[in-house]
Structure 1
Amino acid sequence: MSFAVQEYKRTNRIGDQIKMEVADILTTKIRDPRIGFVTVTSVEVSDDLKHAKIFVTVQKDQDAKQAFMGLRKATGFVRAELSRRLQIRRVPEVAFLPDESTEKISHILDLLDRIEKEKR
Protein backbone atom coordinates (compact mmCIF):
# COMPACT_ATOMS: atom_id res chain seq x y z
CA MET A 1 0.00 0.00 0.00
CA SER A 2 1.56 3.28 -1.05
CA PHE A 3 0.57 6.80 -0.22
CA ALA A 4 1.10 9.70 -2.56
CA VAL A 5 3.08 12.39 -0.80
CA GLN A 6 2.33 15.84 -2.09
CA GLU A 7 5.38 18.04 -2.19
CA TYR A 8 4.92 21.30 -0.33
CA LYS A 9 7.36 23.75 -1.87
CA ARG A 10 9.43 26.04 0.29
CA THR A 11 8.02 29.03 -1.59
CA ASN A 12 4.51 27.98 -0.54
CA ARG A 13 5.54 27.72 3.11
CA ILE A 14 7.21 31.12 3.01
CA GLY A 15 4.19 32.56 1.19
CA ASP A 16 1.87 31.28 3.91
CA GLN A 17 4.11 32.72 6.59
CA ILE A 18 4.32 36.08 4.80
CA LYS A 19 0.52 36.11 4.46
CA MET A 20 0.02 35.66 8.20
CA GLU A 21 2.69 38.19 9.15
CA VAL A 22 1.55 40.87 6.68
CA ALA A 23 -2.05 40.50 7.85
CA ASP A 24 -0.84 41.04 11.42
CA ILE A 25 1.38 43.99 10.44
CA LEU A 26 -1.46 45.69 8.57
CA THR A 27 -3.88 45.33 11.48
CA THR A 28 -1.53 46.12 14.37
CA LYS A 29 1.37 48.26 13.12
CA ILE A 30 0.20 50.37 10.17
CA ARG A 31 -1.50 53.62 11.14
CA ASP A 32 -2.18 55.05 7.67
CA PRO A 33 -5.90 55.91 7.51
CA ARG A 34 -5.92 55.49 3.71
CA ILE A 35 -5.36 51.74 4.07
CA GLY A 36 -8.39 51.16 6.26
CA PHE A 37 -9.64 47.58 6.31
CA VAL A 38 -7.86 45.33 3.82
CA THR A 39 -7.70 41.55 3.76
CA VAL A 40 -4.64 39.63 2.64
CA THR A 41 -6.06 36.85 0.46
CA SER A 42 -2.93 35.19 -0.90
CA VAL A 43 0.80 35.55 -1.46
CA GLU A 44 2.81 34.31 -4.42
CA VAL A 45 6.55 34.00 -3.87
CA SER A 46 8.92 33.62 -6.82
CA ASP A 47 11.00 30.44 -6.98
CA ASP A 48 14.19 32.41 -6.30
CA LEU A 49 12.52 33.99 -3.20
CA LYS A 50 13.35 37.50 -4.43
CA HIS A 51 9.79 38.73 -5.00
CA ALA A 52 6.47 38.32 -3.24
CA LYS A 53 3.12 39.40 -4.70
CA ILE A 54 0.69 40.11 -1.88
CA PHE A 55 -2.92 40.00 -3.05
CA VAL A 56 -5.39 42.01 -0.99
CA THR A 57 -9.05 42.91 -1.11
CA VAL A 58 -10.35 46.27 -0.02
CA GLN A 59 -13.67 46.66 1.78
CA LYS A 60 -16.42 47.74 -0.64
CA ASP A 61 -17.14 51.11 0.96
CA GLN A 62 -13.46 52.09 0.87
CA ASP A 63 -11.57 53.97 -1.82
CA ALA A 64 -9.39 51.23 -3.34
CA LYS A 65 -7.09 53.70 -5.08
CA GLN A 66 -6.33 55.46 -1.79
CA ALA A 67 -5.84 52.13 -0.02
CA PHE A 68 -3.27 50.99 -2.59
CA MET A 69 -1.48 54.34 -2.39
CA GLY A 70 -1.19 53.79 1.36
CA LEU A 71 -0.03 50.21 0.88
CA ARG A 72 2.64 51.31 -1.63
CA LYS A 73 3.89 53.90 0.84
CA ALA A 74 4.01 51.27 3.61
CA THR A 75 5.90 48.70 1.49
CA GLY A 76 9.31 49.54 2.98
CA PHE A 77 7.98 49.37 6.53
CA VAL A 78 6.22 46.06 5.85
CA ARG A 79 9.40 44.56 4.38
CA ALA A 80 11.50 45.79 7.34
CA GLU A 81 8.98 44.31 9.75
CA LEU A 82 9.03 41.01 7.83
CA SER A 83 12.82 40.91 8.12
CA ARG A 84 12.46 41.01 11.91
CA ARG A 85 9.77 38.32 11.97
CA LEU A 86 10.87 35.79 9.34
CA GLN A 87 13.68 33.32 9.81
CA ILE A 88 15.08 33.61 6.29
CA ARG A 89 18.33 35.06 5.01
CA ARG A 90 16.83 37.51 2.54
CA VAL A 91 13.33 38.93 2.69
CA PRO A 92 11.67 39.18 -0.74
CA GLU A 93 10.72 42.48 -2.32
CA VAL A 94 6.99 42.88 -1.74
CA ALA A 95 4.31 44.28 -4.02
CA PHE A 96 0.66 44.77 -3.09
CA LEU A 97 -1.83 43.84 -5.81
CA PRO A 98 -5.63 43.78 -5.92
CA ASP A 99 -7.20 40.34 -5.64
CA GLU A 100 -9.93 40.27 -8.24
CA SER A 101 -10.88 36.63 -7.77
CA THR A 102 -13.78 37.43 -5.43
CA GLU A 103 -15.23 39.83 -8.00
CA LYS A 104 -14.91 37.18 -10.71
CA ILE A 105 -16.59 34.56 -8.53
CA SER A 106 -19.41 36.97 -7.72
CA HIS A 107 -19.88 37.72 -11.42
CA ILE A 108 -19.99 33.99 -12.29
CA LEU A 109 -22.55 33.33 -9.54
CA ASP A 110 -24.71 36.19 -10.86
CA LEU A 111 -24.56 34.71 -14.36
CA LEU A 112 -25.53 31.28 -13.05
CA ASP A 113 -28.48 32.82 -11.18
CA ARG A 114 -29.65 34.52 -14.37
CA ILE A 115 -29.43 31.25 -16.31
CA GLU A 116 -31.42 29.47 -13.61
CA LYS A 117 -34.12 32.17 -13.67
CA GLU A 118 -34.35 32.02 -17.46
CA LYS A 119 -34.93 28.26 -17.33
CA ARG A 120 -38.07 28.72 -15.22
Structure 2
Amino acid sequence: MARKPTSSAHRGFRVADQIQRDLSELIARELKDPRVGMVTLNAVEVTPDYAHAKVFFSIITGKPEEATAGLNAAAGFLRNGLFKRLQIHTVPTLHFIFDRTTERASDMNALISKAVASRSKDEA
Protein backbone atom coordinates (compact mmCIF):
# COMPACT_ATOMS: atom_id res chain seq x y z
CA MET A 1 0.00 0.00 0.00
CA ALA A 2 1.39 3.41 -0.99
CA ARG A 3 2.12 5.91 1.74
CA LYS A 4 0.49 9.29 1.72
CA PRO A 5 2.87 12.23 1.38
CA THR A 6 3.58 13.87 4.70
CA SER A 7 3.85 17.51 5.54
CA SER A 8 7.60 17.14 6.10
CA ALA A 9 8.18 18.30 2.53
CA HIS A 10 6.65 21.64 3.49
CA ARG A 11 8.51 21.87 6.78
CA GLY A 12 11.48 23.64 5.18
CA PHE A 13 9.19 26.37 3.87
CA ARG A 14 7.54 26.77 7.27
CA VAL A 15 10.92 26.98 9.02
CA ALA A 16 12.18 29.54 6.47
CA ASP A 17 9.02 31.59 6.96
CA GLN A 18 9.39 31.52 10.74
CA ILE A 19 13.06 32.48 10.48
CA GLN A 20 12.10 35.43 8.27
CA ARG A 21 9.49 36.67 10.76
CA ASP A 22 11.76 36.26 13.79
CA LEU A 23 14.77 37.83 12.06
CA SER A 24 12.70 40.84 11.02
CA GLU A 25 11.72 41.42 14.62
CA LEU A 26 15.26 40.85 15.93
CA ILE A 27 16.81 43.25 13.41
CA ALA A 28 14.22 45.94 14.06
CA ARG A 29 14.24 45.75 17.86
CA GLU A 30 17.58 44.42 19.04
CA LEU A 31 20.22 45.14 16.41
CA LYS A 32 22.02 48.40 17.16
CA ASP A 33 24.54 48.47 14.30
CA PRO A 34 24.46 51.93 12.63
CA ARG A 35 25.39 50.39 9.26
CA VAL A 36 22.08 48.54 9.21
CA GLY A 37 19.25 50.95 8.60
CA MET A 38 15.72 50.14 7.57
CA VAL A 39 16.00 46.58 6.28
CA THR A 40 13.26 44.56 4.62
CA LEU A 41 13.72 40.81 4.50
CA ASN A 42 12.46 39.59 1.13
CA ALA A 43 13.05 35.85 1.40
CA VAL A 44 14.85 33.13 3.32
CA GLU A 45 16.13 29.93 1.72
CA VAL A 46 17.08 27.11 4.07
CA THR A 47 19.18 24.11 3.03
CA PRO A 48 17.51 20.71 3.50
CA ASP A 49 19.71 19.90 6.51
CA TYR A 50 18.96 23.32 8.12
CA ALA A 51 22.69 24.05 8.35
CA HIS A 52 22.65 27.27 6.29
CA ALA A 53 20.12 29.94 5.44
CA LYS A 54 20.41 32.58 2.72
CA VAL A 55 18.60 35.71 3.83
CA PHE A 56 17.73 38.07 0.97
CA PHE A 57 17.14 41.68 2.03
CA SER A 58 16.63 45.14 0.61
CA ILE A 59 17.17 48.56 2.17
CA ILE A 60 15.38 51.86 1.88
CA THR A 61 18.31 54.16 2.57
CA GLY A 62 22.03 53.66 2.90
CA LYS A 63 24.66 51.71 1.07
CA PRO A 64 24.03 48.02 0.31
CA GLU A 65 27.67 47.09 0.97
CA GLU A 66 27.61 48.59 4.46
CA ALA A 67 24.29 46.96 5.32
CA THR A 68 25.53 43.58 4.09
CA ALA A 69 28.71 43.92 6.14
CA GLY A 70 26.73 44.96 9.22
CA LEU A 71 24.25 42.10 8.93
CA ASN A 72 26.93 39.50 8.29
CA ALA A 73 28.91 40.83 11.27
CA ALA A 74 25.80 40.47 13.43
CA ALA A 75 24.94 37.01 12.06
CA GLY A 76 26.14 35.25 15.22
CA PHE A 77 24.11 37.55 17.47
CA LEU A 78 21.03 37.08 15.29
CA ARG A 79 21.53 33.30 15.18
CA ASN A 80 21.69 33.25 18.98
CA GLY A 81 18.43 35.21 19.10
CA LEU A 82 16.86 32.73 16.71
CA PHE A 83 18.08 29.84 18.85
CA LYS A 84 16.13 31.26 21.79
CA ARG A 85 12.97 31.69 19.71
CA LEU A 86 12.89 28.68 17.40
CA GLN A 87 12.16 25.22 18.64
CA ILE A 88 14.27 23.26 16.18
CA HIS A 89 17.35 21.18 16.80
CA THR A 90 19.65 23.01 14.38
CA VAL A 91 19.51 26.76 13.88
CA PRO A 92 21.10 27.58 10.52
CA THR A 93 24.15 29.72 9.93
CA LEU A 94 22.92 32.97 8.40
CA HIS A 95 24.25 34.41 5.15
CA PHE A 96 22.87 37.84 4.20
CA ILE A 97 22.58 38.72 0.50
CA PHE A 98 21.45 42.08 -0.85
CA ASP A 99 18.46 41.62 -3.17
CA ARG A 100 18.36 44.02 -6.10
CA THR A 101 14.92 42.94 -7.29
CA THR A 102 13.15 46.08 -6.09
CA GLU A 103 15.76 48.31 -7.74
CA ARG A 104 15.41 46.45 -11.02
CA ALA A 105 11.61 46.64 -10.83
CA SER A 106 11.65 50.41 -10.34
CA ASP A 107 14.15 50.80 -13.20
CA MET A 108 11.92 48.72 -15.47
CA ASN A 109 8.85 50.76 -14.47
CA ALA A 110 10.72 53.96 -15.30
CA LEU A 111 11.72 52.58 -18.71
CA ILE A 112 8.16 51.47 -19.45
CA SER A 113 6.78 54.87 -18.43
CA LYS A 114 9.35 56.60 -20.64
CA ALA A 115 8.47 54.36 -23.60
CA VAL A 116 4.73 54.96 -23.14
CA ALA A 117 5.28 58.71 -22.91
CA SER A 118 7.39 58.78 -26.08
CA ARG A 119 4.85 56.61 -27.92
CA SER A 120 1.99 58.92 -26.98
CA LYS A 121 4.04 61.92 -28.24
CA ASP A 122 4.69 60.13 -31.55
CA GLU A 123 0.99 59.32 -32.02
CA ALA A 124 -0.14 62.87 -31.24
The answer to whether the superposition gives a TM-score over 0.5 is yes
For residues 20-71 of structure 1, the C-alpha deviation after alignment (integer angstroms, 9 at most, x for no partner) is: 00001001111111112211111111222221111111223x1222222211
Counterpart check, 1:46 vs 2:47 = yes
Partner SS, residue 9 of structure 1: helix
Counterpart of 1:105 in structure 2 is 105
CA–CA separation in structure 2 for the residues paired with 1:11 and 1:114: 42
Q: Quote how far apart the aligned CAs of 1:118 are.
A: 2.4
Partner SS, residue 36 of structure 2: coil
List gaps (5 residues or longer) in structure 2: 1-6
Counterpart of 2:96 in structure 1 is 96
TM-score by length of 2: 0.83
Matched-pair identity in %: 35
Counterpart of 1:3 in structure 2 is none
List gaps (5 residues or longer) in structure 1: 1-6
Counterpart of 1:34 in structure 2 is 35
Counterpart of 1:24 in structure 2 is 25
Counterpart of 1:55 in structure 2 is 56
Counterpart of 2:15 in structure 1 is 14
Q: Which structure's CA Rg is the greater one?
A: 2
Counterpart of 1:73 in structure 2 is 73
Number of residue equivalences? 113
* Bigger Cα displacement from structure 2, 8-17 vs 77-86: 8-17
CA–CA separation in structure 2 for the residues paired with 1:91 and 1:103: 31
CA–CA separation in structure 1 for the residues paired with 2:110 and 2:49: 39
CA RMSD, 1 decimal: 1.5
